[in-house]
Amino acid sequence: MSDYSLKNIMNKPERLAPGHRMCAGCGATIAVRAVLRALHEDDHAVIGNATGCLEVSSFMYPYTAWEDSYIHNAFENAGATLSGVETAYNALKKRGKLPEDETFKFITFGGDGGTYDIGFQSLSGAMERGHDMVYVCYDNGAYMNTGIQRSSATPMYADTTTTPVGKQSDGKMQNRKDLASIIADHDVAYVGQTTFTSDFKDLHSKANKAIYTEGPCFLNIMTPCPRGWRYDTPDIMKICKLAIDTCYWPMFEVDHGKWKLTYEPKKKLPIEDFLRPQGRFKHLFKKGNEDLIVQFQEEVDRRWEDLLYKCAR
């Protein structure tokens, strides 16, 4: 990836057509576009998709935004569905029913609801069985499609519609599940956690490795949701930058079991910097709630130290 150049990579034809119905400023399709740019131009792809914002907005009959073949089956089974497609590819190749010189890659997208929660078993099964596919989670930290309900990816203290802040509630009580680590513990070929950086090099590099590493691969991409997070919509790139510079969202990869940090902020910023621009954390800045931010910071620090330890091994 040392020869990465945004100016060159942006020349590739778009594989996600415009005209989809995602909200203005949505992070999910920024992620999808970036992942698909990592496909070699001559390669074909079958794209899977769990039910969610992306699915209902990108294939609303008869409008498909996908230039490649696409299958949405249901909410909880994107892993299993694509494992069937990938197996069909092997079966048909073996039987000489597909042209030998054509290559297909298998990429499925799911939100954190379809990935961390309802589709977790299906994902785990597909990863464990070793299908040559990439599962991409676009993690926006709540069930946004149904109206911002908490998921196991929702950060602690976030105000969601099922963890509303009130007299008796400070928002979500639990810390978020570290899914990238859990999938890495499946001993899969490649896991990458990333988000958007100005040149998109980190995301591109990880998508490229995930797509072109043989075996099951997993990408966890933080994709801010302006509606759910309640920041100023045009500020998405600033939010992403704060997420990585506060170490809230560390960027790392696990390549055949080897953990590697792919970004270390020169100066680790306090978590307040990430929390403050977001309406879902507004209550944390009320007088008397200082200890909540302290706890949040402690959790970020603990996870960051743990990650540094894993990467130093």
Partner 1 sequence: MRTDITKINEKSSHTELTEGLMVFAGGTSKLFQTGEWRTNTPVFHEDLCKQCLLCAPVCPDGSIPVKDSKRGAFDYDHCKGCGICERVCPFGAIEMKEGNTNGN
Partner 2 sequence: MAIKERMSGNEAVAYAIRQVNPDVMPAFPITPSTEIPQMVSTYIANGEMDTEFIPVESEHSSMSAAIGAEAAGARSLTATSSAGLALMWEELLLAASNRMPLALTLVNRTLSGPININCDHSDGMGARDTGWIQIYAENNQEAYDNFIQAYPIAEDARVHLPIMVCQDGFITSHAVENIELLEDELVKDFVGEYEPEEYLLNPGKPIAVGPYSISNYAMEAKKNQEIALENSKEVILEVAEKFKKLSGRGFGLFEEYRTEDADYIMLLMGSAAGTAKQAVDEMREQGKKVGVLKLRVFRPFPAKEIAEALKNCKAVAILDRCESYNGNGGPLGSEVTAGLFRYKVMIEAVNYIYGLAGRDFTVSDAVHVFEELADAVENGKEVEQFQYIRLR
| Contacting residues toward partner 1, per CB under 8 A | 6-8, 10-11, 14, 16-30, 33-34, 37, 58-70, 196, 198-200, 233-238
End-to-end alpha carbon distance in the chain = 24
Q: Given the structure tokens 């704060």, which residue do they identify?
A: 242
Beta-carbon count within 10 A of 246 CB: 22
Q: Is 288 exposed, middle or buried (0-12, 13-18, 19+ CB in 10 A)?
A: exposed
Q: How far apart are CA 15 and CA 51, in angstroms?
A: 20
Comparison of 214 and 291: residue with beta carbon closer to partner 2: 214
Q: Which does 121 bind (CB under 5 to 8 A by kind): partner 1, partner 2, none?
A: partner 2
Residues 33-92 that bind partner 2 (CB under 8 A): 44, 46, 48, 55-57, 59-62, 64, 66-74, 76-77, 79-85, 87-92
Comparison of 44 and 260: residue with beta carbon closer to partner 2: 44
What is the size of the binding site for partner 2 (CB under 8 A)?
48
φ/ψ of residue 227, rounded to 5: -70, -45
Residues 144-183 that bind partner 2 (CB under 8 A): none
- Pair 194, 210: CB distance under 8 Å: no
Enumerate residues 6+ apart whose C-beta is below 8 A from 185: none
- Pair 119, 49: CB distance under 8 Å: no
Q: Which does 199 bind (CB under 5 to 8 A by kind): partner 2, partner 1, none?
A: partner 1
Phi-psi region of 26 (alpha: psi -120 to 50; beta: other; left: phi over 0): beta
Q: Which does 27 bind (CB under 5 to 8 A by kind): partner 1, partner 2, none?
A: partner 1
Q: Does 22 bind partner 2 (CB under 8 A)?
A: no
- Pair 267, 274: CB distance under 8 Å: no
Question: Least separation, in Å, of the C-beta of 62 and partner 1?
Answer: 4
Site string for partner 2, 244-283 (x = CB under 8 A): ----------------------------------------
Q: Select from 12, 33, 40, 129 the one that contacts partner 2 (CB under 8 A).
A: 129
Strand, coil or helix: 253: strand
Comparison of 62 and 99: residue with beta carbon closer to partner 1: 62
Q: Given the structure tokens 């929702």, which residue do they identify?
A: 154
Comparison of 124 and 233: residue with beta carbon closer to partner 1: 233
Q: How far apart are CA 133 and CA 32, in angstroms?
A: 16
Q: Does 187 bind partner 2 (CB under 8 A)?
A: no
Q: What is the CA radius of gyration of the chain?
A: 19
**Which residues contact partner 2 (rule: CB under 8 A)?**
44, 46, 48, 55-57, 59-62, 64, 66-74, 76-77, 79-85, 87-92, 94-95, 97-99, 102, 104, 121-122, 124-125, 128-129
